[in-house]
Amino acid sequence: MITEQVWIVDDDSSIRWVLEKALSNASISAASFDSAENLLTALDHGQPEIIISDIRMPNIDGMELLSDINHRFPNIPVIIMTAHSDLDSAVNAYQGGAFEYLPKPFDIDEALALTRRALTHAQELKAKTRTQETTSVPVGIIGEAPAMQEVFRAIGRLSRSSISVLINGESGTGKELVAHALHLHSPRAKESFIPLNMAAIPKDLIESELFGHEKGAFTGANTVRHGRFEQAHNGTLFLDEIGDMPLDIQTRLLRVLADGQFYRVGGHSPIKVDVRILAATHQNLEDRVNNGDFREDLFHRLNVIRIHIPSLRERKEDIAQLANHFLVQAAQELSVEPKTLEKSTLEYLLNCEWPGNVRQLENICRFLTVMASGKEIHINDLPSELSETTPTITDSQNNWQGLLQQWANEQLNAGNQGIIDHALPIFEEILIKCALANTKGHKQEAAKKLGWGRNTLTRKLKDLNM
């Protein structure tokens, strides 16, 4: 029986219309349903290649529908849509057996790309048993920025895996939180999560910390000590700042990863372990490999999957939510009423550079909970570190036309040629980035704000290699 390639189920008629129109324009046949009940009835008479389902619907919701489809028709990939773009939604969708997770509001190009990928996958998919939705554990990761959505997607995709992961990002971005989330949403969740910061341990103690030691192995070793590998047996070992690990310890670590066994310091009997390794660094490991400071074979062993944690500068749309969370958290710790940010204070925070990232914001919220005199936090309550690192905006800086004129005169006086060819791409790139940030990555809305058509924005993004 021939049926449509894609079935859409959503109780919002506008979502159904937009998706049907977009799929039709892409020559993909589609049908839509206003409830999960109607779709389930239709499945008794024919099946599509893929299904796109909302997660919040009356009576039977998207997760119940997903469970039913995976049980009865495991060869139909399901894309789950949700307006609740948080870690729990992403992990629950993937653990429930979803093929993909599409946060609302979505970009039409992204929705079409996911649909095409699911259609391709449907041709090759072999029937297999899907695990049911599990209860998720909150791990304190907050973020609605597109860059954080990619992190949530990665955690969700890896939720049924014990594969090694390399997490990179600047100091203070929350690499350990992501590692902990990877552990809690993995088959090893009931076992130990053991963190170890390489940069915080003296080099002569790292070997003993990792592998333990036998009694009498060195002066002061009065008892047998179990190292972090033994403590993490059947669980997860998180090696933070892996780039600071000495070369000789790198060699021993590589052997453990290859053989699944090691010797305690001073020991003669091998100890077998089953440990998942998660590693993190703020350094460029490729550069350290090229400089001979990090073993290339260990790098490739750890770099099976890589997750990049964005800096706070790359996710400024999350600052308000993060600040409110940290202010409430600090108030609970101190048993006081939580403070709130005055509007101009929040705007000021949005313009800060945040070299210390989320950790810096958290510490400042603790400071403000203690030091701000009123319930509402004003700009003059902020610590000096912010006023010193954030440039003051002057009248001349606000007059961008004057600055442009000054720059043009400088370029012309220097005898430079083709200055408009140099300036125009930069000008357009800045406007595009601001528009996309303002619309949270929605290209059609960004194009409208810029006064362009959607095709123009798409072409500009390609021309500017954005």
Q: What confidence tens digit (pLDDT) does each residue in 396-451 have? A: 344 566 677 767 777 776 777 888 888 888 888 888 888 887 877 788 888 888 88
What is the structure's pLDDT at 143?
84
Contact 337, 331 (CB under 8 A): yes
pTM of the predicted protein model: 0.59
Contact 278, 164 (CB under 8 A): yes
Alpha-helical regions (H) of 277-418:
285-290, 296-302, 319-334, 343-350, 357-371, 384-389, 395-398, 400-413
In the numeric block, the tokens 């990939």 are attached to: 77
Contact 8, 32 (CB under 8 A): yes
What is the structure's pLDDT at 125?
61
Residue 54 DSSP class: E
What is the structure's pLDDT at 175?
94
What is the structure's pLDDT at 44?
76
Tokens found for residue 40: 């389930």
Contact 11, 54 (CB under 8 A): yes
User: At 37, phi and psi to the nearest 5?
Assistant: -60, -45
Per the DSSP assignment, residues forming a β-bridge with 213 are: 225, 265
String of DSSP letters for 58-84: SSS-HHHHHHHHHHH-TTS-EEEEES-
Q: What distance in Å separates the CA atoms of residue 453 and residue 443, rounded to the nearest whole number?
A: 10
Q: What distance in Å separates the CA atoms of residue 230 and residue 226, rounded to the nearest whole number?
A: 6
State the Cα torsion 185-317-282-367 to the nearest 10°. -100
Mean pLDDT split into 10-residue runs, the chain, 466 residues: 77 91 90 90 84 90 89 88 72 80 86 91 56 38 86 90 93 93 92 91 87 83 83 94 93 92 90 94 93 94 93 92 93 92 91 91 93 90 72 46 71 78 84 82 84 84 77
Q: What distance in Å separates the CA atoms of residue 71 and residue 40, rounded to the nearest whole number?
A: 12
